Structure 1
Amino acid sequence: MEKGLKEKLLESGREEEESLGKKLWSESKKLWIVAGPAIFTRFSTFGVTVISQAFIGHIGATELAAFALVQTVLLRFANGILLDQSGAY
């Protein structure tokens, strides 16, 4: 514990110093591996919702109102419960 404040907490196994650009590129790749699927999921879910509304709108006004009710009440309520449970301890 007495080694000092400048000691690295995580040893990477490499003694040479990497440049800032290489570190930034490495961390950016790791971030996109984690965040990429989440971004794709959000965009695709939004796209499916918009396309569904467009097709249901051609069927009739009552069907579109029913879809809007289900979308805003039930699905958002279910997502709220899922997000709440993901943060529970």
Structure 2
Amino acid sequence: MPKTNKVIEIEIEKAIDSLSNQSKPNIAKTAREFAVSESRLRRRWKGGKSLFQRQPNGRSLLLYRRGLYVIILITLTRSEHQ
């Protein structure tokens, strides 16, 4: 079963703590040791925010906009046929 984002974030926090204690941080080795994505660990090590700290990506707004487009198209189509 795949790990949840919460479990992954806990592992990344542990990996960051481990990197902080290393005299010469080795991100690739630490990522393997804690079984986390190297790119995600690197981004977090460089100051990137976790999934839970970032702003939402606005998908619901996109769905709302898509719904508006459908309504507009239906309205325009009906007005052309009258």
Shared fold (TM-score greater than 0.5)? no
Structure of higher CA gyration radius: 1
Higher relative contact order (CA 8 A, sep 6+): 2
- Taking structure 1 as the reference length, what is the TM-score of the superposition? 0.33
- Taking structure 2 as the reference length, what is the TM-score of the superposition? 0.35
